[in-house]
Amino acid sequence: MARLDRVKNLTGLVELYGKNPRLQELVNLVVVCGDHGNPSKDKEEQAEFKKMFDLIEQYNLNGHVRWISAQMNRVRNAELYRYICDTKGAFVQPAFYEAFGLTVIEAMTCGLPTFATAYGGPAEIIVNGVSGYHIDPYQGDKASALLVEFFEKCQVDPSHWTKISQGGLQRIEENTPGSFTLRG
């Protein structure tokens, strides 16, 4: 749900996924970023596009990764969140830093268990282990291990997915738009 630039670290998400065969066994990865129809003139974005394609090839992720262009239509965005939620997936926001974290709030509002950067706004939005999980984008191995742990636990105890989903919904419900108060 983002522009494909380095700070969003979406190529880092693909890399941590590619390096973890167990995570690939448990779930597929849907990445929503960039604009496939309009080649960017931005050098950083061009480099990230190349890196994304290279990582998919390097880790042989065809069939495991679906890369969709960023959506500008709010209804379509909501449908993507709901589809992932309906299939008992999760939302991962791996940015190196995120000032606020609108996509985190959107995902949690749809009931998606959310894993988001520990740097910036998402760290205040999510109560770690209750309404989602904090991840360190600089430690991809730990982030992928946390994802594996979550999805393995959900296989053994499907109510765990619901518990985190409900925790995220409750966190959003407690904080109305325009007066979102952050507390841990």
Confidence at residue 179, expressed as pLDDT on a 0 to 100 scale: 47
Residue range 34-73, pLDDT digits in tens: 888 788 889 999 999 999 999 999 999 999 999 998 888 8
**Rg of the chain, C-alpha, whole Å:** 16
CB 132 within 8 A of CB 113: yes
| SS3 assignment, position 149 | helix
pLDDT band at 76 (very low <50, low <70, confident <90, very high): confident
Q: For residue 28, count other CB atoms closer than 10 A to its CB.
A: 14
| 102-138 per-position pLDDT tens digit | 999 999 999 999 999 999 999 999 999 999 999 999 9
3-state helix, strand, coil in the chain (%, to 5): 50, 15, 35
pLDDT at position 36: 81
Domain ranges for the chain: 6-173
Q: What is the Cα–Cα distance from 99 to 95, expressed in whole angstroms?
A: 10
pLDDT: is 45 or 176 the higher one? 45
Q: What is the mean pLDDT of residues 144-170?
A: 98
Domain 6-173: give its CATH architecture.
3-Layer(aba) Sandwich (3.40)
Please, is 174 exposed, middle or buried when counting C-beta atoms within 10 Å of its C-beta (0-12, 13-18, 19+)?
exposed
Q: Is 34 left (phi over 0), alpha (psi -120 to 50) or beta?
A: left
pLDDT at 177: 58
3-state secondary structure of 34: coil
Count CA atoms within 13 Å of residue 35 on its CB side: 9
What is the per-residue pLDDT for 87?
Answer: 96
173's tokens: 């419900």
pLDDT, averaged across the chain: 93
